[in-house]
């Protein structure tokens, strides 16, 4: 029977460990339930803004390229110009 008696220090350490583990679990649950969805929303918004910006840049590039190709096609349809050197 004497070996089964635990000291007050043991019980206090056990209680403190239980409190620390419980608080840690609560903090982890709050992080997953509250902060992770909020962070996901922020990342989604940032990705959407980046996608829109990239789409605008690609659209501007393609529009400029289309204008250049259009001018080249117009010049090709007009035929070779008479240059003063070939005259």
Walk along the chain (87 residues) and give the pLDDT tens digit of each residue. Answer: 455 678 999 999 999 999 999 999 999 999 999 988 999 999 999 999 999 999 999 999 999 999 999 999 888 888 777 655 654
Distances (CA, A) of 83 to 35, 80, 87: 71, 9, 7
| Geometric angle at alpha carbon 84, from 82 and 85, rounded to 5° | 105
Token pair in block for residue 37: 């969805």
Confidence (pLDDT) at 6 = 85
What residues make up the domain containing 68?
Answer: 34-75
Instruction: Please indicate, yes or no, if residue 28 is contained in any of the structural domains.
Output: no
| Domains held by the chain: number | 1
Distances (CA, A) of 57 to 47, 49, 73, 83: 15, 12, 24, 38
Instruction: Please indicate, yes or no, if residue 23 is contained in any of the structural domains.
Output: no
- pTM as predicted: 0.51
């Amino acid at each position: 029977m004497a070996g089964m008696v635990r000291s007050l220090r043991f019980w206090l350490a056990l209680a403190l460990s239980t409190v620390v583990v419980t608080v840690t679990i609560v903090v982890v649950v709050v992080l997953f339930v509250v902060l992770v969805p909020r962070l996901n929303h922020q990342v989604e918004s940032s990705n959407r803004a980046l996608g829109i910006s990239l789409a605008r840049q690609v659209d501007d590039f393609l529009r400029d390229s289309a204008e250049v190709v259009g001018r080249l096609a117009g010049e090709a349809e007009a035929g070779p110009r008479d240059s003063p050197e070939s005259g």
